């Protein structure tokens, strides 16, 4: 699990004025919308006594903790403590971490880390211009997110983007070409799905009809995105670790044309992902070319000090002291250096990786 990347935490359509709790990277976050419609992401841990802000409510541009009513602005600063006498200043330590938030491609992304904007790895893009149909869904796996990516960063998965059944038989691949990108890698190929069965008159006869080949692409983008293209259809999946053992995959398909009802098409993708579940949850990661590139980029991120030490958190901090992923304000505003009550999540020392 890595900090200092953009992480998609929810679909845009899920986020409203009502605070929403999301667990990612073994931390709790609260997502909500400001009065002007912008999405905002804060640490969900109230600095007063650790209450969950997501159990509270929004009031104008503030979120209110339900326990003793402290009110926090979008930048994480507490601006009102109801128990204080009138005119008493709010201490600077009354502050939670606030994360840069953008909405793109139908997702709410938060930058979970503290490095300056100029050094942040970019977000990926999904080509959905002119899409006739956008499908989306989510599935949770009992598997580490690296293993989920290992199983899903494979060319046959690109067939999920196509308007057809995901066949259990692997498609044929030809003309493979791999290339690295600054924050990922991509593989293009010609993909020929297995022949499909067509029923004849009254269903009494069957024949196998060859399927059409198409150009396919499978790629990944750090830290958790897999991208697919099959013909004109595009798909993107975000594999976000809830904790070291559990991963939530949110997926989105943009189709240029479709003969199929959207709900039927969505159910087909979900059914195909469910069929993959035993493999993803039960088998070790296949060492494909793309996955090896992913592992190498993860190691480079850990060498920069971006790897969150989940095991240390569980062993030394659980039930004793909460830790949070540091936000950019911890570095950008030196005068707040002493204002942070919550300790920063420990990171993996490069030689431990
Ligand atoms: S725990 Fe949030 S105001 Fe007391």
Ligand 1 centroid to Cα of residue 137, in Å, is 34
CATH code for the domain in which residue 74 is found: 2.102.10.10
Q: Convert the pLDDT of each residue in 37-71 to its tens digit.
A: 999 999 999 999 889 999 999 999 999 999 999 99
In this structure, the answer to whether residues 269 and 313 fall within a common structural domain is no
Question: Which atom of ligand 1 lies closest to the CA of 56?
Answer: 2
Looking at 252, 267, 297, the residue that finishes a domain is 297
Looking at the structure, tell me whether residues 172 and 260 fall in a common domain. yes
Is 234 domain-assigned? yes
The phi, psi pair for 269, rounded to 5°, reads: -65, -45
Q: Pick from 42, 52, 68 the residue to mutate for probing ligand 1's pocket: most ligand atoms within 8 Å of its CB.
A: 68
* Residue 129 scores a pLDDT above 80: no
Average pLDDT over residues 135-145: 94
Q: How many residues does the chain have?
A: 353
157 shares a domain with 204: yes
Q: Would you state the pLDDT for residue 268?
A: 86
Please report the pLDDT score of residue 143 as a whole number.
95
Model confidence band, residue 227 (pLDDT cutoffs 50, 70, 90): very high
Q: Say if residue 214 is in the same domain as residue 155.
A: yes
19-42: string of b/e by CB count within 10 Å (b at 16+)?
Answer: bbebbbbbbbbbbbbbeeeebbbb
Instruction: Choose the residue to mutate in 45, 55, 67, 96 for probing ligand 1, maximizing ligand atoms within 8 Å of C-beta.
Output: 67
Q: So what's the pLDDT on residue 286?
A: 76
Looking at the 3D structure of the chain, how many domains does it have? 2
Q: Does residue 128 sit within a domain?
A: no
**Quick one: 262 and 203 in the same domain?**
yes
Residue nearest to atom 3 of ligand 1 (CA): 68
DSSP state letter for 245: T
* In a shared domain, residues 330 and 239: no
User: Last residue of a domain, which of 257, 273, 297?
Assistant: 297
CB-ligand 1 contact for 46 (6 Å cutoff): yes
Ligand 1 atom closest to the Cα of residue 46 is 2
Query: Which of 122-131, 133-142, 314-323 shows the highest mean pLDDT?
Result: 133-142
What mean pLDDT, rounded, does the chain reach? 87
Name the pLDDT band for 237 (thresholds 50, 70, 90).
Answer: very high
Q: Are residues 343 and 221 in the same domain?
A: no
Q: In whole angstroms, how large is the CA radius of gyration of the chain?
A: 23
148 vs 27, 77, 152, 224, CA distance in Å?
20, 37, 6, 10
In a domain, 303, yes or no: no
Final residue in a domain of this structure, among 297, 321, 344: 297
Name the phi and psi angles at 55, rounded to 5: -85, -5
For residue 304, tell me if it sits in a domain.
no
Same domain, 333 and 206: no
User: Which structural domain range is residue 223 located in?
Assistant: 133-297
CA of 64 from ligand 1 middle (Å) equals: 9
- Do 138 and 109 fall within a single domain? no
Tell me, yes or no, whether 37 and 179 share the same domain: no
Which ligand 1 atom is at minimum distance from the Cα of 53?
A: 2
Residue 147 lies in a domain: yes
Query: What is the pLDDT at residue 58?
Result: 97
Q: Indicate if 27 and 67 belong to the same structural domain.
A: yes
Q: Is residue 287 part of a domain?
A: yes
In a domain, residue 159? The reply is: yes
Prediction pTM value: 0.90
CB distance 106 to 137 below 8 Å: no
- Which CATH number covers residue 166? 3.90.380.10
- Same-domain check for residues 81 and 207: no
Res 118: pLDDT: 94
| Integer Cα distance of 53 and 71 in angstroms | 10
Is residue 302 situated within a structural domain?
no
């Amino acid at each position: 699990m890595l900090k200092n990347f953009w992480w998609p935490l929810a679909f845009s359509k899920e986020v409203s004025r009502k605070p929403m709790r999301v667990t990612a990277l073994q931390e709790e976050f609260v997502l909500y919308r400001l009065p002007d419609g912008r999405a905002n992401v804060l640490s969900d841990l109230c600095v007063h006594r650790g209450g969950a802000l997501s159990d509270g409510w929004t009031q104008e541009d503030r979120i209110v903790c339900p326990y003793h009513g402290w009110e926090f602005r979008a930048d994480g600063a507490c601006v009102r403590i109801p128990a204080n006498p009138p005119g008493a200043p709010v201490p600077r330590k009354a502050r939670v971490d606030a994360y840069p938030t953008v909405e793109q491609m139908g997702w709410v992304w938060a930058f979970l880390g503290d490095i300056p904007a100029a050094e942040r790895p970019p977000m990926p893009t999904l080509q959905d211009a002119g899409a006739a149909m956008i499908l989306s869904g989510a599935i949770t796996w009992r598997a580490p997110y690296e293993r989920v990516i290992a199983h899903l960063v494979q060319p046959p998965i690109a067939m999920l983007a196509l308007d057809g059944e995901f066949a259990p038989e692997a498609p044929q691949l030809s003309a493979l070409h791999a290339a690295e990108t600054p924050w990922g890698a991509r593989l293009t190929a010609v993909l020929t799905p297995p022949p499909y069965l067509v029923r004849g008159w009254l269903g009494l006869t069957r024949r196998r009809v060859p399927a059409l080949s198409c150009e396919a692409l499978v790629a990944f983008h750090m830290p958790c995105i897999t991208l697919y293209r099959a013909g004109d259809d595009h798909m993107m999946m975000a594999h976000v670790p809830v904790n070291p053992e559990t991963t939530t995959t949110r997926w989105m398909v943009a189709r240029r044309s479709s003969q199929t009802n959207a709900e039927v098409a969505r159910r087909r993708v979900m059914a195909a992902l469910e069929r993959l579940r035993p493999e993803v949850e039960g088998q070790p990661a296949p060492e494909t070319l793309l996955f090896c590139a992913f592992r190498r980029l993860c190691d480079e991120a850990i060498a920069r000090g971006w790897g969150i030490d989940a095991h240390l958190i569980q062993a030394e901090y659980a039930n004793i002291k909460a830790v949070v992923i540091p936000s950019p304000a911890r570095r950008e505003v030196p005068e707040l250096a002493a204002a942070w009550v919550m300790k920063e999540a420990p990171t993996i020392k490069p030689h431990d990786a």
